[in-house]
Structure 1
Amino acid sequence: MTPGKAYLSSQDIHLLAARSDVAGTLLVLHCWGIIAGAIGLFALWPNPFTAILAIMLIGSRQLGLAILMHEAAHNALFKTRMLNEFVGTWLCGWPIMADLKAYRHYHLAHHRHTQTDKDPDLVLSQNFPTSKASLKRKFTRDLTGQTGAKQLYSQIMTFVRLAGDDDAIEAAKGDAAQAFKSNTIYTAFPVFFGIALAISLIGQWWWGIMFWIVPYLTWFQFVLRVRNIAEHGATEMSQDPLRNVRTTHAGPIAKTFIAPYWVNYHLEHHMIMHVPCWRLPRMHALLIDKGLKRQMNVAPSYRAALVEAGWT
């Protein structure tokens, strides 16, 4: 049963779940537009500040591509399955070396078994709250590229180890470590590095490294961890959809650099997983109108969510 049916009427759900090809197209164009704009900003004013700003903006939009792939995995980005599959794969997933089909297989299990022993994402949340020192170590590894480099190496080695073994590749789709990684690396790699090459051809040879690979290895990994912590870190190990997940309020800066495309409305997403991301704020307001505000697990900011996870 969809958890939201216990709190919302069928008419409410029908209206909230309406998809739009126009909205889906605009979201994808916006995401890639921010990436192009960040590179253009540095091209116009090349200095260390605009370089760092571009890395942060591009890393946040690489998370944005992951979020839009997530939308496509729920068939919520576009009206038709064909568009969800094509755009979710070629324009959202493979550019960040993620596999839409593998991700869908993994992610739907997370929805079925949220915060239970069968939840494949439990490994990401079960160790919270933790210490501030532990969080600092994790964030340092992320921002210095250690996490990204390790995962990239692991992904390559996994592909080499499983090459030609279709059964083993299929089994790996259930591995929590495969959340935003592609098992079809022979397709994802050319797309990922092709984007880096295109950026270098537009500018100087090192631009592709600086403005695609470095953001992927650093800021993307950092915001991906922050998002994971905020969504389920230090939440209840229960089947209560109002308490086993967290929505986090985000201001303009957080929306720009940490939580694009309404990803912060995670409680609402778990309520009805096929509601398009751009309708989640409306769903949040509707749940509050129904008197559920005190029962909902909502953090006032990402800093507050991290404090709950151990950042004291």
Structure 2
Amino acid sequence: MASHLHPKPQVRLDRALFKARSGESLLIIAYALSLYLLPLALFVWVANTASTLWTLVCLPLVVLAGYGLFLQAILGHEGFHFNLSANPMRSCYLGIATSSLLPGFCVTGYFVDHWQHHRYSNSAKDPDYQLFSRYHTLASRITLSRLIATLRYLQTTWRLAFGPLVNPSALPLSSAQVQWLARCNIACQVVWLSLYGLAIWLVDGLLLGFSLSLAVAFLLSAVNAYQEHAFDTGHLLPPARSRTSRLNTWLHAGSNFHLEHHFYPAVPCWRLPKVHRQLLEAGWYESRQYLLEKHFVRSFRYATGRHPYRTNTVNDTHP
């Protein structure tokens, strides 16, 4: 296994933090949907009833809606970590249903890579390293990296759905279950795209609001990988970064504590702030401050070429 400078903290967490609760999951899903749909609806109403000036003034609403749309992808990620329900398949179904709101994003294909990302994190075998380390400028990172990744996940999902029965990522699911989830994923994409098309046809101004929100979500997802894993060259063997501002926590529903997620992937993202506080109280971060970004705006600087996405591996073999 890849060996990092920072092994898993020897901190005893409450076992209740690891238990998936459907009620909590539904509340988080409702929160993410509200963050997406309410600002979008308000922006569309302003665009249809007010002047162009007021429409421009209300553009921050589509930024909020973009964060809400990006949160749907985070929920898909949580679903395939089995954090949305104690029943693994039900958790995956919830993840598919929510993340399919993001057109083109197929979480089943994504998680084939993501499972290996956790297994070989920051090593040459890490699919995320192989993909995102190719891009060295801000322009390529915000345009090409996420586009190529999305197409890759879509192709993988299609292959899993209609190709031979395989389980290439060694997921703790059977090959038949993976195939069924991939088919459900494609069906959900078709359903949501159809509903979007119908809504855009019926509601004036929705095309503008949706297009802007989708563009924001695309940019957020593009920079997110670098915010989490791009470090200065002077930092040796970093596993991940946590962004700790309260605004990040509200907009990312706790998934901004990405280092904690790598240490404890079975803890739902909305409980990661509590895990972070326990690590702070235990003094684990005292000599590791560079693994934290405390400022919301400054976290976007890691998308620039000054912060490479690189492998920092002592050992690339896995037992």
Q: TM-score, normalised by structure 2?
A: 0.73
Cα distance in 2, alignment partners of residues 169 and 39 from structure 1? 40
Task: Name the structure 2 match of 1:300.
Answer: 294
SS of 2:105 mapped into structure 1: coil
2:72 aligned with 1:74: no
SS of 1:264 mapped into structure 2: coil
Task: Name the structure 2 match of 1:234.
Answer: 231
SS of 1:101 mapped into structure 2: helix
- Which of the numbers 10, 17, 20 marks the counterpart of 1:7? 10
Cα distance in 1, alignment partners of residues 132 and 140 from structure 2? 16
Sort the Cα spacing of 1:51 and 1:188 in 2 relative to 1 into closer, same or farther, 3 A.
farther
Task: Name the structure 2 match of 1:177.
Answer: none
Task: Name the structure 1 match of 2:121.
Answer: 114
Q: What is the identity, as a one-letter code, of the residue corresponding to 1:115?
A: N
Task: Name the structure 2 match of 1:57.
Answer: 64
SS of 2:111 mapped into structure 1: helix
Sort the Cα spacing of 1:79 and 1:117 in 2 relative to 1 into closer, same or farther, 3 A.
same
SS of 1:187 mapped into structure 2: helix
SS of 1:115 mapped into structure 2: coil
Contact 2:255 2:269 in 1 (8 A): yes
Contact 1:236 1:244 in 2 (8 A): no
- Which of the numbers 209, 212, 218 marks the counterpart of 1:211? 209
Q: How does 1:146-225 map to 2 (within 5 A)?
A: 154=151, 158=155, 166-167=163-164, 186-200=186-200, 203-204=203-204, 207=206, 209-216=207-214, 218-225=215-222
Contact 2:46 2:55 in 1 (8 A): no
Contact 2:117 2:127 in 1 (8 A): yes
Cα distance in 2, alignment partners of residues 172 and 103 from structure 1? 11
**1:268 shift after superposition:** 0.2
Task: Name the structure 2 match of 1:285.
Answer: 277
Structure 2 gap ranges (5+): 48-53, 172-180, 307-319
Cα distance in 2, alignment partners of residues 33 and 255 from structure 1? 16
Cα distance in 1, alignment partners of residues 31 and 161 from structure 2? 38
SS of 2:42 mapped into structure 1: helix
Cα distance in 2, alignment partners of residues 72 and 21 from structure 1? 11
Task: Name the structure 1 match of 2:267.
Answer: 275
Quote the RMSD (CA, aligned, Å): 3.9
**1:221 shift after superposition:** 1.6
For these two proteins, the number of residue pairs brought into alignment is 284
- Which of the numbers 240, 243, 253 marks the counterpart of 1:245? 240
Contact 2:79 2:93 in 1 (8 A): no
**1:63 shift after superposition:** 1.1
SS of 1:222 mapped into structure 2: helix
Cα distance in 1, alignment partners of residues 266 and 34 from structure 2? 25
Cα distance in 2, alignment partners of residues 16 and 68 from structure 1? 17
Cα distance in 1, alignment partners of residues 14 and 7 from structure 2? 8
Q: How does 1:26-105 map to 2 (within 5 A)?
A: 26-46=27-47, 47-49=54-56, 52-93=59-100, 95-105=102-112
**1:304 shift after superposition:** 3.5
Deviations 1:49-75 (A, max 9, x none): 366334322221121001011111111
Cα distance in 2, alignment partners of residues 215 and 248 from structure 1? 23
Sort the Cα spacing of 1:38 and 1:90 in 2 relative to 1 into closer, same or farther, 3 A.
same
